[in-house]
Chains A and B, each alone.
Chain A
Amino acid sequence: MKKSSSSFSGGWKSLIVFTVLLLAWLCGFASRLFAVIRFESIIHEFDPWFNYRATAYMVEHGFYNFLNWFDERAWYPLGRIVGGTVYPGLMITSGSIHYVLHLLNIPIHIRDICVFLAPIFSGLTAISTYLLTKELWNTGAGLFAACFIAIVPGYISRSVAGSYDNEGIAIFALQFTYYLWVKSVKTGSVFWASLTALSYFYMVSAWGGYVFIINLIPLHVCTLLLMGRYSNRLFTSYTVFCILGLLFSMQIPFVGFQPIRTSEHMAALGAFILILVIGGLKHMQSILSKAEFKYFFIVTSLVAAGTVFFGVVVLTYAGVIAPWSGRFYSLWDTGYAKIHIPIIASVSEHQPTTWFSFFFDLHILVTTFPVGLWYCIKNVNDERVFVVLYALSAVYFAGVMVRLMLTLTPVVCILSGIAFSRLLEIFLKDEETPSNGDSDSEQETSPSRTLYDKAGKLRKMKHEQIKETEGLGANVRSFIIVGVLAMLLMFAVHCTWVTSNAYSSPSIVLSTYSQDGSRQILDDFREAYYWLSQNTDSDARVMSWWDYGYQIAGMANRTTLVDNNTWNNSHIALVGKAMSSTEPKAYEIMKSLDVDYVLVIFGGVIGYSGDDINKFLWMVRIAEGEHPKDIRESDYFTDKGEFRVDAEGSPVLLNCLMYKLSYYRFGELQLDFRSPAGYDRTRNVVIGNKDFDLTYLEEAYTTEHWLVRVYRVKKEDEFNRPRIPVSKRKIRPSDVFISKKTSRRKKGLIKNRPVVVKGKRPVKS
């Protein structure tokens, strides 16, 4: 490449950029396919099943019917207005891909589009990360960042094939919006600012995380103002973006009027007013004299600040602006959710992040990204302020919630890209002989190429005094380069390993390896769901814990009481209460909710730890939140405060519905010869209450490995009726007499009137 004459360098450069980005896309796509290769092309986990179901509905019934869709199969008896409570970006994206392909007569099933959507979008994310980093630093750093984001586990965890969730496309939208924003701040053009708003619109339609953008950009603007970096470019781009973005975001039915009513969005409007005021002041400054301006400035700023502050406070108290939502509070106070909203705390991905998972998800990048951050701070300009703010806020949020690791990952990739690019720039720069340069790292440092190769040749003229002690020796340099490359190699290995081991399980199909190395597939979930879909009434109502709501709706196509869209806490609490009450009490609740089947997940036979008994305390807690008189968490613990299911467990626990449904007839089952009957492999104890029968329910189906157990709720005439006290057993004749006479027929009637057989008079002979 170096030998090429300079007129070709532009072509070579774009070829290399194109090739690297293409390879990054391919690598990213390929490394997300572990689940498809090991299992099959299938939708994973919980939320994706809802997204898939909604997409399939949209493809079948059309977009407008989808927006008006009232799903009576969820949240029985309430139902759910799906069109108005969903971010439709994901469905629209895959729906339009499906539409275009079918226009071209390519009959790909919508499921396959859904499965492969996230891996395809990861390529787009890599490209937009490249563009963003290129704007922030240079092409080399951009290519590094693109390669990093393509394989970094923190992002792969949300975008493997089959993980059909909002985040899959939202990270692309996020990065692209940021790229366009940086571009518009750089150019100050209305065109780029409008594109930013459009991209923001896509982000709003795709994920609730758009709040991050609408707070980060105003933060950037305010910081630039504080730093005295006000410019007309900033003014143009922010005002255009803010207004267009506001209007666009309100077009999404689920968002509606939130952008002007909730506190989460107020920062954008505040920054908008601020930049207008400052713009106005700058203008006045150019007209007024210095003394006049000073007076004017003080008065205006005081009045403006006061008005805005009181305005917001008054509107908040008046209820026009909603206060911060609970999920948002839990971002500031990590203990908030645990106390106030157990349902948020019960989700494992809402837990604070551990140090371990930072390294697990980011590996070497977690150590190099501060370097990039330092470079950005050192060589600060308008757009680097942005990336610094992005990094700092994302680090904070990622520390609060595991789930928000996702927003940190892209910025870590960007900054690490900058760090590695700088590093290689320094250590590859003073290369003496151009031929032994590392072809690997060369492409990344390509922008600095012209700086050293020609000058190097010129300097050859000084051969009388070469080997001056300038910079590092060739040995040290190559040592470091090899070290860096080795680190990158380890990073790639780690990423592949994590992806393959931790993030590529569909979680509805489990697999185990037996001792001879053969693989066994435990397909119990689908077994049970398919049984439900084939062998129950199509309007049967299935009660289960909310985790399985989407899967039941998606795979079994049956009505559920609660699901993963946890919008109604009291309904969930009612289900929790039924699960944690005794059988007769639970029957009352189930009867009032018209439950036909109850589904529980039980891992005791195969040692599956994510089963309902292990989640049970959350059910109790959520139920207690709504029904503190009936359910008390302390009842379910032993005196020592332990949660145990063996003989020493608390009697309330051993007699509640969840326990009974999980362990029905398990006490008779002896798993192997070494362990006694009723030995629970998940909790490694022999269960406490073995011999019991069910009165109000009967086993309808249990899967092969007992993982899913479905019970039918008996109708009232099917079980032994409750004992009626003797005094009430006598049937009293009703004393209300109803005459059967009508106006036309006044004749009396005799009950059981004897039939008169009329004889014949004997004929006289």
Chain B
Amino acid sequence: MGDEEKRGIFGSLKDKFKDYIYGMAAHEMTRQALKTRGSMEHLFILITMGDLLGVPILPPYYSLRLLPYVVPQISTWKRRMLREKDLTDALA
């Protein structure tokens, strides 16, 4: 067994171990942070683009500037804002 190969096996073991620890300890935190960020994103779109839902919030001149950046989010965001809440929301 050459040194190279040895390092390969240990290297991948080390990676696996890192993933394992990450999964146990940090994955949930990361997920939580991203989830919070996601909710904030929706809040952000609501306060800048509220007109899309018929909620006039702002003089729209400058909010139009932001429109191009939120194009991909618009459809999911509208769905999220307009849908009804149910029990599974609490579990999510």
Q: Do A and B bind?
A: no
Tell me the A residues contacting B by CB distance below 8 Å: none
